[in-house]
Amino acid sequence: MPTSATGTLTSKPLQQRGFTLVEILVVMVIIGVLAAGALLSLGTLGQDRQLDTERDRLLTLLDVVREQAGMQSNEYGLRCFAGGYEFVVYQPRAGLWQRITDDRTLRRRHLPDGLLLSLVVDGRAVVLPKEDAKEAAPQVLLYSSGELNPFELTLRREGVPGGFRIASGGDDDHLEAAALPAGAT
């Protein structure tokens, strides 16, 4: 071993092998932060925000129209078409359904690109008409008494399994919303 002029021993510094515990913890924290950021940017647990928003909007609008029907003693309906939906009101004097054009809340709504709507009324699938169809007859009736005709409305993302089902429930005519299983199309 070499000796210095002062008489102390000098040796080559020991070479480090591996990482310290602090270095490993810093790397783990960085990976955790990146993973959390990626998860939040994709949505919480892969949820589809547009689909959730449309489901909530439709449920809220159905509740608003049902309350309005009861307060005004008018019969309302939901008319679904390829790519969206609108609310209509029955005009007893004319004996026909009329589109609602003067109410911003109940205006015609279009689904965002990639969202699909399907409808089953009284256990039968409904072929949705084109948006510009002249007839305004609704498929779902919202009576002033609070009653509903039996229906199931499904919202889902095109090409993705799952989605949401909104349906009239049992004898008490409440609305039920449930997530479809991931295998459902």
Q: What is the CATH number of the domain that holds 175?
A: 3.55.40.10
Q: Is residue 176 part of a domain?
A: yes
- pLDDT above 90 (res 152): yes
What is the structure's pLDDT at 184? 59
Q: Encode pLDDT of 90-124 as tens digits.
A: 999 988 999 988 989 889 999 999 899 999 999 89
Q: Is residue 147 part of a domain?
A: yes
- pLDDT above 80 (res 182): no
- pLDDT above 80 (res 69): yes
CA distance 19 to 55: 51
CA distance 84 to 131: 8
Q: Is residue 123 part of a domain?
A: yes
Q: Is residue 7 part of a domain?
A: no
CA distance 97 to 93: 11
- pLDDT above 60 (res 46): no
- Global pTM exceeds 0.85: no
What is the structure's pLDDT at 13? 63
Cβ proximity of 88 and 76 under 8 Å: yes
Amino acid at 108: R
Q: Encode pLDDT of 1-34 as tens digits.
A: 566 666 666 666 667 678 888 888 898 989 989 8
Q: Is residue 10 part of a domain?
A: no
Taking the CB of residue 66, how many other CB atoms lie within 10 A of it? 20
Across 36-45, 46-55, 87-96, least confident range: 36-45
Amino acid at 15: Q
- Which one, of 36, 72, 66, lies nearest residue 140 by Cα? 66
What is the structure's pLDDT at 36? 84
Cβ proximity of 58 and 85 under 8 Å: yes
Q: Is residue 103 part of a domain?
A: yes
What is the structure's pLDDT at 57? 93
What is the structure's pLDDT at 61? 93
Average pLDDT value for the chain? 84
Exposure letters 112-149 (e unless 16+ CB within 10 A, then b): eeebbbbbbbeeeeeebeeeeeeebebbbbbbbeeebe
What is the structure's pLDDT at 151? 92
Q: Is residue 18 part of a domain?
A: no
Angle of CA points 106, 110, 114, to nearest 5°: 150
- 175: containing domain: 46-180
Q: Encode pLDDT of 138-150 as tens digits.
A: 999 999 888 888 9
Q: Is residue 78 part of a domain?
A: yes
Question: Domain total for the chain?
Answer: 1
